[in-house]
Amino acid sequence: MTDGGDKAFTDEAGQAPLVEFLAAGGATEGMPPAVIETHVSRVFLGAQHAWKLKRAVKFPYLDFADPARRRQACADEVEINRRTAPDIYLGVTPVRRVAAGGFVLGEGDGDIVDWLVAMHRFDEAGLFDRLAAAGELDRRSMQALADAIAAFHQDAEALDRRGGAAGTGLIVANNAESFAGAPGGILDAEKVAALNAGASALLEELSPVLDARRDAGAIRHCHGDLHLRNICMIDGRPTLFDAIEFSRDFSDIDILYDLAFLLMDLDDRGLERLSSLVFNRYFDVTGELKARPGALAVLPLFLSMHAAVRAHVDAQQAAGLSDADRRARRAEEARRYLDLALGYLNPAPPCLVAVGGLSGSGKSRMSRELATYVGARPGARVVRTDVTRKRLFGVAPEVRLPDSAYSGDSHVRTYDAFMEEIREGLAQGHSVIADGVFAGHRQRDAVWALAGEMGVPFAGLWMTASADVMIARVNKRQGDASDATEEVLRQQLDYDLGDIEWTKIDSGGAKEATLAAGRAALKRKQ
C-alpha cells in the first residue's frame, strides 16, 4: 500500500477509468450522479454528498498533472473554504485501486491513485447564478452579500509582502501568456494585442497606487474566484465557497480585485444595477475609499483583468468541447468577455451629481438607482450623508444613533467628511453622486463649487413630494441609514430653502417614472 507516488495518475487518459467509475455511481451509493465539469475539475453530485476530482491537467497557472500537487490542492481546498463554508467542506478522501482492477474510496487496501474533496451537498437552487437567472436577486440580497464579503475580507489574513504592482503584474503577464496559448481562430488577435498593451500600460501607471494599497493592508488571502456560481444562499445567508486553492498568486490579492470578479460577473449578465448595489454597499460598510489609497482608481484595471481571465479560459474550454453547439456558445462567450475587458480600460469620464431634498422626498432612492447609469462601471459612487455619519460613529448604516449624533459639531464633522469623500472619488477619476438634504444654499453652492474645482461636469437634482407622501415614507422606513422621524421632517418643512436652481423632480408618482425623469434631467445637462 502506498500514498500515491508512482501509482497516481499523471494525465487525463490515466484518470479516465476513475472518471467512468465515479460517473457510474462509485461514490454515490451506486446511483449515477449529476456531473459538473470545469476546465480543472469534475464534481459528482450524489443525494447527500458531492465529490470533486481534480483533473490531471496542466496550464500556465496550475499543474494538476503532478499527483503531489493535486493531493495538496485537495487539502488546501478544504482548509481554505472552511473559512466561509465550514459545513460544506468535509475533508479529503483517497481513491484506491483494488486488486480486481476497480476502485474504492477511503481507508483500506490498495494503492492510492487519486484524491477527492468530500463535500456536503447543498440545494443548488440557492446558487446565486440561478437566482440571478430567475430574477430573484434583489437589493436586500445584494446588501447581505456585500456585507458578507466585507466581513470576510476584514477577517482574512493580511499579507504585506504579496500583491501590489508585482503581484498584479503576475496576473497581467499570465493573462498575456494564456492568450498566446489559446487556440487560434476563436479570439480576435488584434483585440487581444490591444488588451494586453492596454492592461500593461495601466498597470505601469497604477504601480505606485497598487504598492501603496499593499502597504495600507489591502492585500489579503482572499477568495480569488468570487463570481455568482461560487455563492449560495444557505440558511438565509449568502455563503462563499470554491475559493482558489491551486495558487496563492491568484488568492493573495487586493480585496478590491477579489470584489471586482463579482462586479464583472454581474455586469456581464446584464445586471448592472445589482453590480452597482454591491459596489456601493461594500464601500459604505468598509469606508474603503478613505481607508486606503486608490480604491476607485484601480477598479478599471481589476475589472478588465477578470474579464480577460474569463476570455482565455472560455476560449480554451471551447476548443476542448466535442459538441459543436456548445463549442460555438463557449467561443462566443470568450469573445464577449474579450470585448468587456477592452471596454473596462476605457472608462467614462467623471462627473458629479448632487441629489437633494427633504427627508422622505425620495433622494436616496433616486441616488441609488441613478448610480447605475452614471459614469464608469460599476456605476457612480454614491456618497450619502446618513451613511457617512454612521461610519464616523463606527456603526453599521442601519444602526440608529442618539440625538447627540446630530448636534452642531457632529453635523459639521459629518458634512466635512461627506465633502472630502466626494472630492476623493472625483480625484480618482470616478463619478460621484452626492446624496444629502442640501437644505441651505451654502451647501448647494459648495457642492457645485467642488465640481468646478475638480474640473468635472455638475448636475443638481432636487426631489419633491407632498408633505403627506413624505411623512408616510418616513414612518414606513425599516432598515434604512436615515434616522429621520416624522418630527424631524416637520421641522424641515419649515426651512427657508431659498432659491433652488437645481432640476426639480416630483417623486410622488410611479418609481419608474421618477427614475426616468432623473435620467432625462442628466441627459439635458450633458
pLDDT tens by residue, 48-73: 999 999 999 998 788 999 999 999 99
The kind and range of the H/E element at 506 are strand 503-506
pLDDT tens by residue, 387-408: 999 999 999 999 999 988 998 8
* CA distances for 194 relative to 174, 201, 346, 347, angstroms: 16, 10, 12, 15
Kindly tell me if the per-residue pLDDT of 305 is higher than 60: yes
pTM of the entire predicted model:
0.93
Q: Give the number of C-alpha atoms closer than 13 A to the C-alpha of residue 459, restricted to the C-beta side.
A: 23
- Looking at residue 394, its pLDDT comes to 94
- Looking at residue 59, its pLDDT comes to 84
Angle subtended by helix axes 255-268 and 139-155, to nearest 10: 160
pLDDT tens by residue, 486-510: 999 999 999 999 999 999 999 999 9
- Looking at residue 3, its pLDDT comes to 54
- Looking at residue 363, its pLDDT comes to 98
Q: What number is the average pLDDT over the span 290-318?
A: 96
- Looking at residue 2, its pLDDT comes to 44
The correct answer on CATH 3.60.40.10 for the domain covering 128-344 is no
* Distance in angstroms (rounded) separating the CA atoms of residues 502 and 278: 29
- Looking at residue 245, its pLDDT comes to 93
The kind and range of the H/E element at 464 are strand 458-464
Kindly tell me if the per-residue pLDDT of 1 is higher than 50: no
The kind and range of the H/E element at 113 are strand 111-120
- Looking at residue 5, its pLDDT comes to 53
- Looking at residue 369, its pLDDT comes to 98
8 Å CB contact between 371 and 382: yes
Q: What number is the average pLDDT over the span 434-445?
A: 96
Q: What number is the average pLDDT over the span 138-158?
A: 97
Backbone angles phi, psi at 80, to 5 degrees: -65, -40
Share of the chain above pLDDT 90, in %: 86
What residues have CB less than 8 Å from 243, skipping those under 6 apart? 77, 80, 81, 83, 84, 222, 223, 224, 225, 226, 230, 251
- Looking at residue 6, its pLDDT comes to 57
Domain boundaries 352-525, CATH class: alpha beta
The chain-wide mean pLDDT, for the chain, equals 94
Kindly tell me if the per-residue pLDDT of 430 is higher than 80: yes
Kindly tell me if the per-residue pLDDT of 112 is higher than 60: yes
Kindly tell me if the per-residue pLDDT of 19 is higher than 70: yes
pLDDT tier for residue 526 given thresholds of 50, 70 and 90: low
pLDDT tier for residue 307 given thresholds of 50, 70 and 90: very high
pLDDT tier for residue 20 given thresholds of 50, 70 and 90: very high
- Looking at residue 249, its pLDDT comes to 85
Q: What number is the average pLDDT over the span 415-423?
A: 97
- Of the candidates 309, 376, 336, 57, which has an alpha carbon nearest to the alpha carbon of residue 168? 309
- Looking at residue 387, its pLDDT comes to 97
Q: Cell match 410611479: residue?
A: 510
Q: What number is the average pLDDT over the span 329-345?
A: 97
Q: Cell match 432598515: residue?
A: 479
- Looking at residue 182, its pLDDT comes to 87
